[in-house]
Homo-oligomer: A and B are copies of this chain.
Amino acid sequence: MAVLGENRYGKAESRVVRIVRDTPRHEIVDLNVSSSLRGDFDAAHVSGDQAAVLPTDTQKNTAFAYAKLHGVSSPEDYALALASRLLEAAPAAAAAEVRVEQYAWDRLGQHAFARRGGDVRTCEVTVSRSGASVVSGLKDLVVLKSTGSEFKGFLVDEFTTLAETDDRILATSLVARWRHDTTDVDWNASFDDVREVLLSTFATTYSRALQETLYLMGSAVVDTMPGIAEISFSAPNKHHFLVDFSGFEVDGLTNDGEVFIAADRPYGLIECTVLRDAPA
């Protein structure tokens, strides 16, 4: 006989735009907010009784209202407030989860802005009856090294045709998520610091594989940011293949690491976590 297992429900992708207009110099905060509730919602599933269910429409309303009532000093701070509120409003819930993406804008004037593009700041907050956890992150951070990257000495079997290389393009569209030890954090400063450590480590280290580069980036974060317990990466290896000029009948035409085709699919996908070793 069938029984209900794990379940959660919520409202995904509310596009909350908050304008702070206390002075003529406006500020803009641009968010994509998703929330969900876990807990004892068996009746909603099994007998169709919605008495314990705070509607997803209400979750959405609360997300918009809290952009004003609580404000958005950082996505993490806002998400913690919103998750706490949703948990309070839904007695059947054991935990509320809020995920936020934040899109950056550059200032053009007192009340005019251009969306920056590039990487997106993320956070995932869980508030349960016993406490809160915060995972900060970013996604769509596309970085590339035009040299200083090799891949060789790998395992070879009968299907292996890849040539070893000691000079290739290494590129990825990084997703990184880092878990904090505490919620007593200057979230914006912390985010800026982690992003800077990731970029500077990528830029300044030699790469013997994307795996090594991610490990170096993660280690640099964990080693230099005391409040960060672990960091996880999901990193597509965005292949750039050297274009073969050998078939062209043009005297002197060579391709010494200068012209590449950026491929779409397939792509390598490297995922790893780096964490702080517990003291003995």
Contacts and interface: CB of A to CB of B under 8 A. Distances in A.
Interface string A56-97: 111011101101110000000000000000000110000000
Given A209-B44, A215-B46, A3 B157 contact: no
Contacts of A112: 143-146, 148, 202-204
Contacts of A161: 57-58, 61, 247-248
Contact of A142 (B8, B16, B115): B115
Contact of A60 (B34, B47, B266): B266
A9 to B, nearest CB: 5
A155 B53 CA distance: 5
Nearest to A252: B69
A10 interface: yes
B145 A273 contact: no
A232 to B, nearest CB: 8
A19 B257 contact: yes
Contacts of A108: 143, 199-200, 202-203
A51 to B, nearest CB: 6
A218 to B, nearest CB: 6
Interface string A20-35: 1100001010100010
Contact of A115 (B9, B26, B47, B143): B143
A9 B253 contact: no
Which of A116, A211, A271 lies at the interface centre, i.e. has the most chain B CB atoms within 10 A of its CB?
A: A211
A265 B264 contact: yes
As for how many copies of this chain the complex holds, the number is: 4
B117 A259 contact: no
A113 B21 contact: no
A237 interface: yes
B267 A45 contact: no
Nearest to A69: B253
Interface in A210-268: 211-212, 214-215, 218-219, 222-223, 230, 232, 236-237, 240, 243, 245, 247-250, 253, 255-268
A151 interface: yes
A131 interface: no
Given A7-B273, A151-B50, A258-B68, A45 B114 contact: no
Contacts of A105: 144
A165 B69 CA distance: 25
A12 B235 CA distance: 11
Contacts of A197: none
A142 B116 CA distance: 8
Given A12-B269, A61-B160, 5 more contacts: A21-B146, A53-B155, A64-B243, A108-B199, A113-B144
